[in-house]
Structure 1
Amino acid sequence: MHLCRIIAGLDKAMFLFSAKAMYPSTSLARVVLKKGKTQIFRDGSPMVYSGAVDRIIGRPPPKTGDVVLVADGSEKPIGWGLYNSVSMFCVRLMQLEEEAKRDPTSALNMGRLLEERISSAVDLRRSLGLPSTNTNAYRLINSEGDRLSGLIVDIFADVAVIASSAAWVEKYSQEIQFLVNKVSDVNHIKWRSSTDILKEEGLDISEQKEHAPSSHPGTVKVMENGIVYIVSMEGQKTGFYADQRESRNFVSTLSKDKRVLDLCCYSGGFALSAAKGGANNVIGIDSSGSALDLANENILLNKLNAERISFLKEDATAFMKGAISRNEVWDLVILDPPKLAPRKKVLQSASGMYRNLNALAMQVVKRGGLLMTCSCSGAMTQSGLFLKTIQGAASMAGRKVTVLRQAGAACDHPIDPAYPEGQYLSNYLLRVM
C-alpha cells in the first residue's frame, strides 16, 4: 500500500512537471470538461460545445479569442484552444497535448500553429496536383478538414478569397492574410466575413475595424478542367463552387451527342462542361440574372457555339412544370439547388422541397436517361435521408431509379472523420426508368 502511494505520488509529480513544461503560463484559464465528455475531444473533435463544460477555472474569466487550456475532470490538460464566451462552441480545440509534446514550438503559439497548418494545406494541394496547367481554381483551406475550424480559403488564379466564420479568425486576420499572401501565385486577397454566423459568435462585423480592401477588380478569370470561367468576387459563397469540380468533369464524359438540362446552373459550371464534352444541345436554368450574365460571358470566353448552349432566367420548378406540359425531355439532367436545409430544425420541410424538385426532374429525364441530383445542405447529407428522399421522389413521379455513382465534394475539400458535421455535399447519378 505504501509503495502504491509512492508510485501514485510520483505519477502526479510527473504530470505536474509535464503540464508546467508544456503549458508554462499559469495565468491561462482552464476549461474543465464534464465526466464522460473527454474522449470525444481526445479522439479529435475540434468543437467543445458548452454542454460538455463542467466549469471554467481562471480569474479574471477568459474573453472571446483568448487561448485556454482544455482539461479533463481531474483538471489534467488534454490540449489547448481558443475560447468564445457567447458561441454554443465554447472552445475550438487547436492542438491536443500529444501533438504539443511532439512539436512544442507551436504549443500555445497561434502564429506558429497557423504557419504550420497553412503550409501543410499548401503541401496537400500540391500533392493532389493543384494548381495545374488546366485548373487554377481550388480550395486551399477547408475549415475543420485542414484543422483550422471556421476558416475557408479558396484560390482563384492569383486571388485568394478568405471566408471567416469564427471570432478567432477575425482576431488573427492580419496573421492569416500575411501567411496566405506568401502562397505561390497569390497576388490579391479578398476577405469575406460570414456576418450572420459571426453574430452567433458574438461579433457584430459593423463594429469591427474594416479589413484592407482588395486591390483586385470585381471579377477574375479562372480555369477549371480546361474550361474558363469568370468568377465574381461578390458572388455566392466565395464566388465559385470548386467542390463540384470532379463531378463537372464527370458530366463532360457523359454528354457527347446528348441533350442536357442544367437546373439551378449559377454561372454555368455543369452546362459548360457538358458543352465541352460534345453535347448536341445544352440549356441552363437559373433565377439569378447576375449569375446568368456570368454564364453568358463564359460561353464567349470558351468560344462555344451559342446555338448549342444557352441560358434562361426562370424559376427551376416553373420551368420543369412547363417542360412536362410540353412532353419535353432530356438525356441528362443536372439538379443542383441552393441549400434548402441550413439547419436540422428545417430538415423535414426541406425534405419535402427536395422530394418535389426531384420528382419534377425525373419527369423531364428521358426514360433510360440520367439524372445527377445534388444537395449542399449539411443537415440533409449528415442525416442520411437524401437517398430516401430521392426514392420518395421516384414514387411520386412514377419512375424507377438506380444509383450509378455517389460522390461528395472534390478532394481538395478534406473531411475530418472526428468532425463528420463538416460533410455537406451529396451528389448522386441516377438512371431513371
Structure 2
Amino acid sequence: MKSISSCLPSLPPPLTFSTLQELAANRKGFARVILKKGKTQLFKDGSPMVYSGAVDRIIGRPPPKTGDVVLVADGSEKPIGWGLYNSASMFCIRLMQLEDEALRDASCALDMEKLLERRLDAAINLRRSLGLPSADTNAYRLVNSEGDRLSGLIVDVFGDVAVVASSAAWVEKYRFEIESFIGRISGVNHVNWRPSVDILKEEGLDVTGLENFKSCSNVDKVQVIENGISYSVSLEGQKTGFYADQRENRRLIYSISSSQRVLDVCCYSGGFALNAAAGGADDVIGVDSSAPALELAKENVQLNNLDPGRISFSKEDASEFMKRAASKNDAWDLVILDPPKLAPRRKVLQSASGMYRSLNSLAMQITKKGGLLMTCSCSGAMTQSGLFLRTLKGAATMSGRRITVLRHAGAACDHPIDPSYPEGAYLTNYLLRIL
C-alpha cells in the first residue's frame, strides 16, 4: 500500500515560527479559547476532548464557528495547542496538536488539511507494520478515532472499499478532503460515507439530509478475507458492515474448536461460527434475531465450502433460545456470547448490567461442566467501568456455576487506544472455564 504522501506534492520545509502564538499572529483570524485555571494539565497530558465546562472565555471577533481552527491557551493566555471548535457540542474543542509538537515541526500547525494527510499517512504505516493488509486478511481498521489522533473519524477498509464512519462536525466539514486522501490509497477504489446521525445531532448539525443518507459509491456488498476465511460484507449492515475488532478473538476460536460442539449466540454474519467450523468443530449452531444477518452467514458458509451438515443458523431471540436449551438440559463444549451494545450511556449502566448478568447466566447454564464460554461486551460504558468481570461473577452465582478466567482481551491491534483518552476503549472479551 502506497502512502498518501507519495501521491501528493512534497510538503514545504518546516516554518521557522517558534510558537503557535507567533504562527497565528502571522496568519491572522484565529480565535483563542482560554481554559479555566486548574483545567490545563489534563489536556497537556494528551486528552483530546475539551469539555465546555473547562473553558473560561473566548477571545476573537467574530466568534469562531463550528469546525473552525482555534488556539487553546491556559489561564495566562499561553497557547498549549490548537484544535477544532464546536459551538453546540459538550465537546467544545477536539485538540489536534499540542504546542510542543508545533515547536518540533510547524508544517502542520493550524492547518487541518496538512494534519489530516500526516495523520492518515501515520495510520497507513502503522497498519503496514502490523501486516495489514495481507494475503489472508484484507479487512481491517485504518483509522480508529482518538487512537489515531483523529477524534471523531473511523475508517474501515474492506477489500477495495473504505468505509468512513463520521461522528464529529469537523469530519463532515472536511468530507471532501478525507474522501480525496483516502481515495488515493493504493487498492482503495470506493469510499462509502456513513454518518453517525444520532451523534451528529449532539454535535449540533442539521441532520435532515443525513437521515436517509446513502453513499454515492454504488457499492452495497463486498467480499473480504480474514485469517483465510471469506466473508460477504453488507455495507448497509451494522456499524461499518463488519466487526474487524474481533479478528484476533475469532482466530482463537478457530484454534480451540476442533472436535467440539459449538454455539455462537448473537452471531451476526457468522464470524465466530465460521471460524469454529473451519477449525474442525463437530457441530456449530449460530443464533441471531436478524434475518439479513443470517442470510449473510449462510452465504458465508457457501463461500468457504463448509459442510452445511456441520454448521447451521437459527433466527431466534438469544434469551429465548438459551432458556429453551437450558430447560432441555442441552449443553455445548464451547459457547460464544457477543450481544449488541446494551449500555450506550453510563446512565443506563445499572440496567444494562442486569441484562448482561441474565444473558451470561443463561450462557453458563448451557455450557458443559469444564467447557468454555467466550463472552463479550462492546459497550464502552461497561468496559470503562471495569464492572464486566463483577457482572460475570454475579452471573455465575445466579446460574449455580463457578468460573475461572483463561484470557482477557479487547479489540484487535489495529484498534489502538490513546491512554490519555481511556473512553476510547469499548470492547471486552473474556474466555472463561465453566465449572
Q: Is 1:22 matched with 2:23? A: yes
Displacement, 1:218?
A: 1.3
Displacement, 1:347?
A: 0.1
- Backbone CA RMSD of aligned residues: 1.4
Change in 2 beyond 3 A, CA 1:368/1:49: same
Q: Distance between the aligned counterparts of 1:208 and 1:279, measured in 2?
A: 44
Taking the TM superposition and a 5 Å limit, the aligned residue runs for 1:255-274 are 255-274=257-276
Displacement, 1:184?
A: 1.5
Matched letter for residue 31 of structure 2: A
Displacement, 1:21?
A: 2.8
Q: Is 1:67 matched with 2:65? A: no
Q: Distance between the aligned counterparts of 2:214 and 2:298, measured in 1?
A: 32
Q: Is 1:428 matched with 2:430? A: yes
SS at match of 2:248: helix
Taking the TM superposition and a 5 Å limit, the aligned residue runs for 1:309-320 are 309-320=311-322
Matched letter for residue 312 of structure 2: S
Matched letter for residue 133 of structure 1: A
Q: Deviations over 1:98-153 (max 9, x none)?
A: 11111111000111000000000000000000000000000000000000000000
Displacement, 1:22?
A: 3.0
Larger Rg: 1
TM norm structure 1: 0.95
Q: 1:369 — aligned with what?
A: 371
Displacement, 1:183?
A: 1.2
Q: Deviations over 1:199-221 (max 9, x none)?
A: 00011222479989433431000
Q: Is 1:85 matched with 2:87? A: yes
Change in 2 beyond 3 A, CA 1:212/1:106: farther
Q: Distance between the aligned counterparts of 2:114 and 2:58, measured in 1?
A: 26
Q: Distance between the aligned counterparts of 1:216 and 1:28, measured in 2?
A: 39
SS at match of 2:312: strand
Q: Distance between the aligned counterparts of 1:398 and 1:287, measured in 2?
A: 28
Q: 2:175 — aligned with what?
A: 173
2:19 and 2:102 in contact (8 A); partners too:
no
1:22 and 1:101 in contact (8 A); partners too:
no
Q: Distance between the aligned counterparts of 2:43 and 2:377, measured in 1?
A: 29
Matched letter for residue 143 of structure 2: I
Q: Distance between the aligned counterparts of 1:376 and 1:305, measured in 2?
A: 31
SS at match of 1:340: coil
Q: Deviations over 1:201-248 (max 9, x none)?
A: 011222479989433431000000000000001000000000000000
Q: Deviations over 1:336-394 (max 9, x none)?
A: 00000000000000000000000000000000000000000000000000000000000
Q: Distance between the aligned counterparts of 1:162 and 1:232, measured in 2?
A: 14
Q: Deviations over 1:32-57 (max 9, x none)?
A: 11111000000110000011111111
Aligned length, in residue pairs: 418
Taking the TM superposition and a 5 Å limit, the aligned residue runs for 1:262-341 are 262-341=264-343
Q: Is 1:221 matched with 2:223? A: yes
Matched letter for residue 106 of structure 1: C
Displacement, 1:19?
A: 4.5
Change in 2 beyond 3 A, CA 1:209/1:184: farther
Displacement, 1:181?
A: 0.7
Q: Deviations over 1:224-275 (max 9, x none)?
A: 0000000001000000000000000000011000000000000000000000
Q: 1:412 aligns with which of 403, 414, 422?
A: 414
Q: 1:148 — aligned with what?
A: 150
Q: 1:378 — aligned with what?
A: 380
1:264 and 1:316 in contact (8 A); partners too:
yes
TM norm structure 2: 0.94
SS at match of 1:23: helix
Identity, in percent, stands at: 70
Q: Distance between the aligned counterparts of 1:204 and 1:163, measured in 2?
A: 17
1:195 and 1:204 in contact (8 A); partners too:
no
Q: Distance between the aligned counterparts of 2:210 and 2:341, measured in 1?
A: 28
Q: Distance between the aligned counterparts of 1:349 and 1:72, measured in 2?
A: 40
With 411-420 and 177-186 compared, the bigger mean Cα shift is at 177-186
Q: Distance between the aligned counterparts of 2:62 and 2:213, measured in 1?
A: 30
SS at match of 2:170: helix
SS at match of 1:327: coil
Matched letter for residue 91 of structure 2: F
Gaps of 5+ in 1: 1-15
Q: Distance between the aligned counterparts of 1:19 and 1:299, measured in 2?
A: 56
Q: 2:193 — aligned with what?
A: 191
Taking the TM superposition and a 5 Å limit, the aligned residue runs for 1:44-63 are 44-63=46-65
Q: Is 1:33 matched with 2:35? A: yes
Gaps of 5+ in 2: 1-16
Q: Deviations over 1:129-188 (max 9, x none)?
A: 000000000000000000000000000000000000000000000000011111111000
